[in-house]
Structure 1
Amino acid sequence: MSASADPPASPARKRSVVRSLLRLWPYVRPVRARVFGAAGVAVVAASMSLVMPLVLKWIVDGPVAEGDTAGVWLGGGVLLLVGVLEALLFGLRRWLVARPLAGVEAGMRAALYRHVQRLPVTFHDRWPTGQLLSRGTGDLQLLRMFLAFGLTFLIVNSATILIGFGVLVAQDWLLGLVLIVPVIPLIGMCWLFEVKFSVVARRAQDQMGDLTTVVEESILGIRVIKGFGRHRSQARAFRALSRELMDTEIHKARLLAAIWLVILALPELFLGVALVLGVGQVADGTLTAGTLVAFMTTAMALRWPVESIGFLLALCNEAATATDRFFEVMDGKVPPETAREKGPDDGDAPDGLVFENVVFRFPDAPPDSPPVLDGVDLHIRPGETLALVGGTGSGKTTLIGLVPRLHEVTSGRILLDGTDIATLPRREVRARVALAFEEPTLFSASVEENVLMGADDAGPGDLDRALRVGQADGFVAALPQGPLTEVGEQGLSLSGGQRQRLALARAVVGRPGFLVLDDPLSALDVHTEARVEAALREVLADTTALVIAHRPSTVQLADRVALLSGGRIAAVGTHAELLHSNDEYRHLMTGERTEVPAS
């Protein structure tokens, strides 16, 4: 019913690089023709560099040795033609992959965004925002670079090396074997590099996610940071994480420098040996000068494919790590749209909002831990408003979160007009139930767009009515562009009370059949609260409502009150009845506590 909650902490990758990268195939498959076509074109283009030594051999052993000037010019023209053809083929490769792979990146980002939106609230409660952001931005950009450049040149350079060594051995098998000898130690060094680099690459990308989280929190909490003068401590925290990331990147650079040193030095050493042996053979007359020139030119043409091995290995490891991080999110389990089939007795249930023996435990909680809600039974009749009261940590917010299926009940059931919500698609449940949270969230959009999020088919008349109910029409009209005014990120350009009134307007704009409010008036002054309550009574008269209340003024909106204590409904009655009969309720509402006389 829930995703695994905690983001992994930088382990060494458990699967191989190849198996990790193969998971990208479903996203690449639609453009496979152009990707593999580009790789084929690039192989042909790289082969042009191996044709040039053969042309040089013909020029040296033929026209140059014979003094044929026309032949030299002909050979030079062929070399020019081969070079131009090579450049055109590499340009074609670039054209083939640029747009399709940008589309692959966009498709993966869209898939990640859709999946994150569908993941349960428990997932978002435990994953840092920065980790999700880094996966959707930096990691996907890295994957696009790998697919467009790394993968192509891994294929091209591997093919070039194999063909090139074949050409070398064909020209002179002894000199060819001299250059093949360092391949064995190179393979061993590359394997050792891959093992070490994969761990460091994962650590660096996770640290980048942590750093992104700190930046995001600092920007969103800038008022708190400035208000408490905490900019220095935040800067120290940022510097510490930045220093850790820098140390990891330096470690990566050292590993890469070490493998590059081996890859550059070892072939150069054996290339020098081959040159000495070749000059000796030319002096002995067992090898022509043209063959030696062709051999050495071919060997020099193979320098870039061999030298690029370290860079391509690093890119493959980073791409595999980015793939793992991407699928850590994509592998998160999305709760099913309907949890169970409709029961045979569902039609006999009463109308309104009904909780039947509801038990809830967070999915990642230990099996032997006590449930947050333990056997909640409650019936809110059609058109009735019920206030939910309880101490801090009693489970009020969790209980109301079960109604729109932000969480799924562990056992028991919740009914909307006789229908178990677990048998309904989540979209249908949320179309029937409207919410307003104590901490209002607004988006970087206009007032109108924020309010009309509460209903798909609401119009200007519904907007005006909702703003009047929330007593937001006055301050909205005074904004520079009225309802079309952009409220900025999280609506921080507005006061807390203004944001709360817009959130209430969003909840009522669609005239919902069921209304769930989490202490919706907590940020309002007493005069505004009284006006909102008066307007809200008209709405509550036509809907079934469950309202979390902490103040007597909010309780007055309700027909009845339910006291939640110890995960259960401890008492239900009117405000006056519970004040008279229940000590816990009286203490919550007035602060008074009845002393039990000593026996």
Structure 2
Amino acid sequence: MSTISRTDPPAGVHSLWRLRGYLRPHALSLTVMAAASVAGVGLTIAIPLVTKALIDGPITDREIGPVLPLGLLALGLGILEAVLIFIRRWVQSNAVLGLETAMRHDLYERLQQLPMSFHTKWQSGQLLSRATTDLSAIRRFSGFGLLFLVINILQVTVVTGVLLHMYWPLGLVVAATAAPIVWLSMRFEKAYVVVSRRVQDEQGDLATRAEEGAVGIRVIKSFGRSAHVSEQYDAAARQLHATSMDKVRLSARFWTFLEVIPNLAVVVVLLLGAIGVGHGRLTPGELVAFITLMLSLVWPVSSLGVILAMAQEAMTSAARILEIFDTEPDIVSGTTEVAEPRGHLRFEHVDFAFPDAPDEPVLRDVNLDLAPGETVALVGATGSGKTILTGLVPRLYDVTGGRITIDGVDVRDLPLPHLRQLVATAFEEPTLFSMSARENLTLGRADAGEDEIASALDVAQAGFVHDLPWGLDTRVGEQGMALSGGQRQRLALARAVLARPRVLVLDDTLSALDVHTERLVEEALRRVLADTTGLVVAHRASTVLLADRVALLQDGTITHVGDHRVLLETVPEYRELLSAESLDPELELDPEAVEA
């Protein structure tokens, strides 16, 4: 979730100002759009003035000749206004859609740059709402609200000046309506910005619940908790509905007030104007033009509520998006590349603690040396820090003490793309994407050939992909839900092998495989690991046997490193751990059986 308080109003104006760079590529389009809009305001004023000339001239003098030219002039001005509106909307749509596309690209790119420490703190629904709802709010305001906010203010100002010039007493009536509108707008803005932020945050919470319900549907159904999860979703939806209704009520009161003021002003102007005509202070044409110009102000004034509401939503959205852009990655890419990588991996006095709990270290003084081409099995109880240790190698997290080196270069000094070409990781809980099996396989190496793909599938015993309806081109569904757990693990393992890394990290990758498949995979992995430095998290002796050496991780530190058989004979904790984790403890505790 966001760390920003839900009751604190965002620095909205500053947020939109800081996003001004997205408007620069569209400067020409915005200039054309503004020119067309200003010209439209001029035409809005010109047409009533032509009407005034028509009434006070040929109609009053009963002259037919000038009527046709003046009528055609008014018609031509009306057509020109319609053309300008078309041009403005066409240019406006292109510019605004381009702005939204650029922002969406940069936001997604930023999310990819931010480290795991960021993503573990934020709900996925909150990020999703920023990438969809918030960007749409900014687009709507940029494409409609911002333009009309400027144009309507300009129109009200110019028209009021014309009215004061035509007949100042009525002009003062029109000008006097600005005072209550400005006062109410300021009060509305302060209240609306808070409730708007609450609505947007609650939309993010609801999106998170919807996503979790979809991703976790198998668990929900298997435990028969559909009703319980639905109740939680309904409660969040009701909360969003209540907050949205607060927002609607606030807007309704403001918009109603804005609708009443212009209409009351029209009534007063009509009454006083009729009196002015009766006393000879106004001509009938001037009164008609005055009323027409006055009516042209009704929409700009009444629309102010909608525009201000859009402005507040856009400013809140901009502030929410800038929370992501303003987050500085705590994992920064280095600049030193390994010219001829061999895969020599060293952990030197490594410490790690999460930023939120710096006094509770997960890893303490970890020392481990993996020679090029050597495989080390990492064994430890649940919660001992195995997954964190493996995540430090590709810099999913950074060490808080000591260092990790590859071929003598600190991984923090390596460019991140280069590091993640050297290191490939397969996780216990594999992540597959809603794309084809081939695209999932080649995610780490897009230029892999068909023979290399076939070899990686053979190592991972993932030949099942050829039996899918469209083979490798079959889409595996979101999170790979169309596949079993073992199939997902094998496909993820094949993906890691296909990357041809110098360092291969396997985080208990074989846990979901049956004994027969596991044995086949292990036999093939031996050939791969012979040329690659391997760090393998293991819970079974059969997996341990893939390794040249075993490292025992206890309470965040490596206490023993050595041969599997020696550790079985000399370290009771190691023997007990394998016995507890094993499917076949008698086999794994019998060194002779293991050797056989």
Shorter-chain-normalised TM-score: which range?
Answer: over 0.9
DSSP 3-state at the match of 2:65: helix
- Among 19, 26, 30, the residue aligned to 1:24: 19
DSSP 3-state at the match of 1:152: helix
1:574 paired residue number: 563
- In structure 1, give the amino acid aligned to 2:94: R
1:263-309: CA deviations, max 9, x gaps? 12123223322222221121112222221211111111111111111
- Among 361, 371, 374, the residue aligned to 1:384: 374
TM-score, L = length of structure 2: 0.94
1:497 paired residue number: 486
* Aligned Cα root-mean-square deviation (Å): 2.0
1:74-94: CA deviations, max 9, x gaps? 332222111111111000101
- Among 265, 271, 274, the residue aligned to 2:266: 271
Matched, 1:375 2:371: no
Cα deviation, residue 9, structure 1: 4.2
1:478 paired residue number: 467
CA distance in 2, matches of 1:494, 1:279: 81
DSSP 3-state at the match of 1:306: helix
- In structure 2, give the amino acid aligned to 1:442: L
CA distance in 2, matches of 1:154, 1:502: 55
> Are the counterparts in 1 of residues 373 and 529 from structure 2 also a CA contact under 8 Å?
yes
Matched, 1:357 2:349: yes
Change (3 A) 1:154 1:455: same
> Are the counterparts in 2 of residues 39 and 155 from structure 1 also a CA contact under 8 Å?
no
> Are the counterparts in 1 of residues 181 and 258 from structure 2 also a CA contact under 8 Å?
yes
- Among 165, 173, 177, the residue aligned to 1:170: 165
- In structure 1, give the amino acid aligned to 2:307: L
DSSP 3-state at the match of 1:91: helix
Cα deviation, residue 95, structure 1: 1.5
Structure 1 stretch displaced more, 214-223 or 313-322: 214-223
CA distance in 2, matches of 1:53, 1:182: 22
Aligned ranges 1:309-348 → 2 under 5 Å: 309-335=304-330, 337-338=332-333
> Are the counterparts in 2 of residues 340 and 422 from structure 1 also a CA contact under 8 Å?
no
> Are the counterparts in 2 of residues 12 and 198 from structure 1 also a CA contact under 8 Å?
no
CA distance in 2, matches of 1:337, 1:270: 62
CA distance in 1, matches of 2:440, 2:252: 53
CA distance in 2, matches of 1:117, 1:538: 34
Matched, 1:405 2:405: no
2:4 paired residue number: 8
1:545 paired residue number: 534
1:111 paired residue number: 106
Aligned ranges 1:451-462 → 2 under 5 Å: 451-462=441-452
> Are the counterparts in 1 of residues 7 and 197 from structure 2 also a CA contact under 8 Å?
yes
2:131 paired residue number: 136
Aligned ranges 1:41-120 → 2 under 5 Å: 41-120=36-115
Matched, 1:261 2:241: no
Matched, 1:591 2:580: yes
- Among 399, 417, 421, the residue aligned to 2:411: 421
TM-score, L = length of structure 1: 0.93
2:228 paired residue number: 233
Cα deviation, residue 65, structure 1: 1.1
Cα deviation, residue 6, structure 1: 4.2
Structure 1 stretch displaced more, 121-130 or 74-83: 74-83
CA distance in 2, matches of 1:277, 1:485: 77
DSSP 3-state at the match of 1:486: coil
DSSP 3-state at the match of 2:366: strand
- In structure 2, give the amino acid aligned to 1:438: E
Matched, 1:247 2:268: no
CA distance in 2, matches of 1:6, 1:340: 32
Gaps of 5+ in 1: 593-599
1:242-282: CA deviations, max 9, x gaps? 11111222111111111112212123223322222221121
1:596 paired residue number: none
CA distance in 2, matches of 1:336, 1:565: 27
2:423 paired residue number: 433
> Are the counterparts in 2 of residues 264 and 307 from structure 1 also a CA contact under 8 Å?
yes
Matched, 1:529 2:518: yes
1:312-344: CA deviations, max 9, x gaps? 1001001111111111112121245445989xx
CA distance in 1, matches of 2:405, 2:385: 19
1:179-205: CA deviations, max 9, x gaps? 211211211100000000011111111
DSSP 3-state at the match of 2:346: strand
Aligned ranges 1:157-306 → 2 under 5 Å: 157-306=152-301
CA distance in 2, matches of 1:12, 1:51: 46
DSSP 3-state at the match of 1:105: helix
1:526-583: CA deviations, max 9, x gaps? 1111111111111111111101111222112111111111221111112222222223
Matched, 1:487 2:476: yes
1:214-265: CA deviations, max 9, x gaps? 1111111111122122111121112111111112221111111111122121
> Are the counterparts in 1 of residues 33 and 92 from structure 2 also a CA contact under 8 Å?
yes
Cα deviation, residue 351, structure 1: 7.1
CA distance in 2, matches of 1:470, 1:163: 75
Change (3 A) 1:453 1:339: closer
Change (3 A) 1:434 1:72: same
CA distance in 2, matches of 1:351, 1:240: 53
Cα deviation, residue 483, structure 1: 2.1
